């Protein structure tokens, strides 16, 4: 696809404002303050999408609310990554039959990655008749139009065609107030890891223009955001489709030139094209946090091959060695899957040995969940769940000990942190993050939120550090 087909014309985006107005006017005649309840599941990319959806809802005149039962509109922005994520959504939909019965005017919207799965949209069509509007991630920018269609026709609307997807700039947004913000720099995924549903539901890889990303980051820094995360399924392939030779390290370098006191992070990185140049750039750019989330998934080369990951254990270790050589203080996290179809105990232990060898600061660990339609879902999977659970528990045990050990090493030291909010711990009422994104619970008053501080670390456990401002 060429660039013109990918960029959604500004006129088409602007036209959505007409639909926003129609809905605003419709409610103005009917009801003073329509409310909308938005629930987002899944990854940060979905959270960022949810913030755009909320922006559009506000532009349509809705006040955002937490009360799904009472809301005039309920929107579930869903995730399809594992079976459990889908079950939660079906559970929520079940509960919504009651509120819909009491208030037949209630508009129920299902969007996000699950909505894009044919199997799911079919099930919604047939068995969840109280859902009024269903659309996938590629249709997100047309939400006002689709919603208007649902209100006007009083018929159910499905927009779930398999589309490669475009890029719509200038959509409204409701951000979390405070210090953290998300910026999608690209959409979609071309990698087709054999276990993963994302390429099927999020369309093809496409990069926003550097100008659009830079303008958004600049705006956020000027608005006082201090912890900005660039998002993409694989940020290392940013720019591949721009055909200008401009790549992710170039983007980092250009962002770094924006003046201000802030940190830039990014996720996720794919080891197959994480490069020494990326690490050199991280090391030399003052605003780029020395933190890396580099999912390795498995420590066994046969399994990595079956997963279609396109790197080896050795290549991964080599990357880590290089990254640490240029950034000795690097905080490193990863994603791991245990129990891929056909994985043997010995192979799972290779994953654990890699974890021991690298010494990650933290891990996101998953037991393999078959996703219908993916290549892995058709592979024989003879190992019982209980057996996989044992390997998984062993992995957790190794990692928890590692995290606790790394954290204990900080006690007595001084760290620079960014206070990002209040916490639920009465003795340490503030939550803060180090440059490496480590959680530090702090003593102090809430007037400190949003500030960079030097703190003295007084305690630790597996998940957090504890400290006091100096
Ligand atoms: N694009 C990111 C990952 C997004 S999904 C990347 O490639 O790094 C987040 C994590 O969910 C993946 O890294 C993987 O560990 C896990 N995951 C994806 N599909 C899964 C499945 N079918 N079962 C279990 N875990 C899965
Ligand atoms: Fe899924 Fe692989 Fe794409 Fe990540 S890179 S979203 S794991 S297919
Ligand atoms: Fe889930 Fe879609 Fe993200 S499947 S993990 S919400 S890209």
For residues 183 and 213, the answer to whether their CB atoms sit within 8 Å is yes
Is the previous residue joined to 268 through a cis bond, with omega within 30 degrees of 0? Answer: yes
pLDDT above 90 (res 5): no
Angle between helices 248-256 and 276-284 (to 10 degrees): 0
pLDDT tens sequence across 406-463: 999 999 999 999 999 998 888 999 999 999 999 999 999 999 999 999 999 999 999 9
pLDDT above 80 (res 31): no
Identify the CA nearest to 41 among candidates 118, 127, 137. Answer: 137
CB of residue 20 inside a 6 A radius of ligand 3: no
pLDDT above 90 (res 29): no
pLDDT at 30: 82
Atom 4, ligand 2: which residue's CA is nearest?
Answer: 233
How far does residue 456's CA lie from ligand 3's centre (Å)?
A: 37
pLDDT above 80 (res 32): no
Round to whole Å and give the CA distance between 200 and 217.
29
Identify the CA nearest to 326 among candidates 277, 393, 268. Answer: 277
pLDDT at 2: 81
β-bridge pairing 180-184 and 414-422: unpaired
pLDDT at 177: 86
pLDDT above 80 (res 1): no
Pocket around ligand 2 at a 6 A CB cut-off: 189, 191-193, 196, 198-199, 233-234, 270
pLDDT at 406: 97
pLDDT tens sequence across 109-133: 999 999 999 999 999 999 999 999 9
pLDDT at 319: 98
Task: Name the least confident of 80-89, 110-119, 275-284, 422-431.
Answer: 422-431
pLDDT above 90 (res 73): yes
Nearest ligand (C-alpha, residue 297): 1
Identify the CA nearest to 136 among candidates 119, 151, 152, 148. Answer: 119
Question: What's 62's DSSP letter?
Answer: P
Q: What sign does the CA torsion over 345, 303, 277, 269 have?
A: negative
Mutate to test the pocket of ligand 1, among 48, 81, 137, 389 (most ligand atoms within 8 A of CB): 81
CB of residue 45 inside a 6 A radius of ligand 3: yes
Strand order in the sheet with 157-159: 63-64, 35-40, 73-78, 107-112, 133-135, 157-159
CB of residue 239 inside a 6 A radius of ligand 3: no
Round to whole Å and give the CA distance between 217 and 199.
27
How large is the average pLDDT for residues 40-47? 97
pLDDT above 80 (res 4): yes
Atom 1, ligand 3: which residue's CA is nearest?
Answer: 79
pLDDT above 90 (res 400): yes
Mutate to test the pocket of ligand 2, among 270, 271, 310, 377 (most ligand atoms within 8 A of CB): 270
Q: Which residues contact 378 (CB under 8 A, 6 or more apart)?
A: none
Atom 3, ligand 3: which residue's CA is nearest?
Answer: 43
Task: Name the least confident of 174-183, 295-304, 339-348.
Answer: 174-183
Ligand 1 atom index nearest CA of 374:
22
How far does residue 21's CA lie from ligand 3's centre (Å)?
A: 30
Mean pLDDT taken over the chain: 96
pLDDT at 33: 84
pLDDT at 217: 98
pLDDT tens sequence across 261-272: 999 999 999 999
pLDDT at 64: 97
CB of residue 80 inside a 6 A radius of ligand 3: yes
pLDDT tens sequence across 187-243: 999 999 999 999 999 999 999 999 999 999 999 999 999 999 999 999 999 999 998
pLDDT tens sequence across 325-346: 999 999 999 999 999 999 999 9
Ligand 2 atom index nearest CA of 233:
6
For residues 205 and 69, the answer to whether their CB atoms sit within 8 Å is no
Note the pTM of the prediction, 2 decimals. 0.97
In this prediction, what percent of the chain has a pLDDT beyond 70?
Answer: 100
Atom 1, ligand 2: which residue's CA is nearest?
Answer: 196
């Amino acid at each position: 696809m060429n660039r013109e087909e990918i960029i959604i014309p500004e006129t088409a985006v602007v036209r959505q404002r007409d639909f926003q107005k129609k809905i605003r006017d419709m409610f103005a005649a009917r009801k003073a303050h329509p409310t909308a309840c938005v629930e987002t599941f899944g990854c940060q990319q979905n959270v960022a999408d949810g913030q755009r959806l909320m922006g559009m809802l506000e532009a349509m005149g809705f006040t955002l609310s937490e009360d799904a039962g009472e809301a005039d509109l309920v929107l579930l922005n869903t995730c399809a990554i594992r079976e459990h994520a889908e079950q939660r959504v079906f559970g929520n939909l079940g509960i919504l039959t009651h509120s819909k019965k009491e208030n037949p005017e209630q508009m129920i919207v299902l969007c996000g990655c699950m909505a894009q799965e044919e199997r799911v949209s079919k099930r919604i069509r047939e068995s969840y008749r109280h859902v009024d509007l269903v659309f996938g991630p590629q249709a997100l920018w047309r939400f006002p139009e689709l919603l208007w269609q649902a209100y006007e026709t009083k018929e159910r609307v499905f927009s779930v065609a398999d589309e490669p997807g475009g890029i719509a700039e200038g959509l409204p947004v409701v951000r979390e107030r405070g210090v953290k913000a998300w910026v999608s720099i690209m959409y979609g995924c071309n990698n087709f890891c054999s276990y993963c549903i994302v390429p099927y539901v999020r369309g093809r890889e496409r990069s926003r223009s550097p100008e659009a990303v830079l303008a958004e980051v600049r705006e956020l820094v000027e608005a006082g955001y201090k912890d900005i995360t660039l998002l993409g399924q694989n940020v290392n392939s940013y720019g591949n489709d721009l055909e200008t030779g401009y790549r992710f390290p170039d983007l980092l370098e250009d962002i770094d030139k924006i003046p201000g006191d802030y940190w830039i992070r990014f996720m996720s990185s794919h080891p197959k094209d994480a490069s020494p140049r990326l690490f050199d750039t991280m090391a030399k750019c003052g605003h780029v946090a020395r933190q890396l989330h580099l999912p390795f998934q498995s420590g066994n080369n046969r399994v990595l091959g079956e997963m279609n990951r396109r790197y080896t254990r050795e290549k991964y270790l080599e990357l880590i060695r290089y990254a640490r050589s240029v950034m000795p203080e690097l905080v490193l996290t990863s994603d791991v899957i245990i129990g891929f179809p056909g994985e043997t105990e010995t192979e799972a232990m290779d994953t654990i040995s890699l974890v021991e060898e690298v010494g990650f600061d933290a891990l996101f660990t998953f037991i393999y969940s078959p996703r219908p339609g993916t290549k892995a879902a058709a592979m024989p999977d003879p190992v019982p769940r209980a057996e996989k659970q044992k390997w998984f528990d062993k992995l957790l045990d190794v990692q928890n000990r590692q995290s606790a050990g790394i954290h204990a090493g900080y006690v007595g030291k001084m760290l620079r942190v960014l206070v990002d909010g209040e916490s639920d711990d009465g003795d340490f009422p503030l939550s803060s993050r180090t440059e490496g994104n480590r959680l530090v619970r702090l003593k102090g008053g809430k007037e400190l939120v949003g500030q960079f501080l030097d703190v003295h670390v007084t305690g630790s456990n597996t998940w957090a550090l504890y400290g006091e401002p100096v």
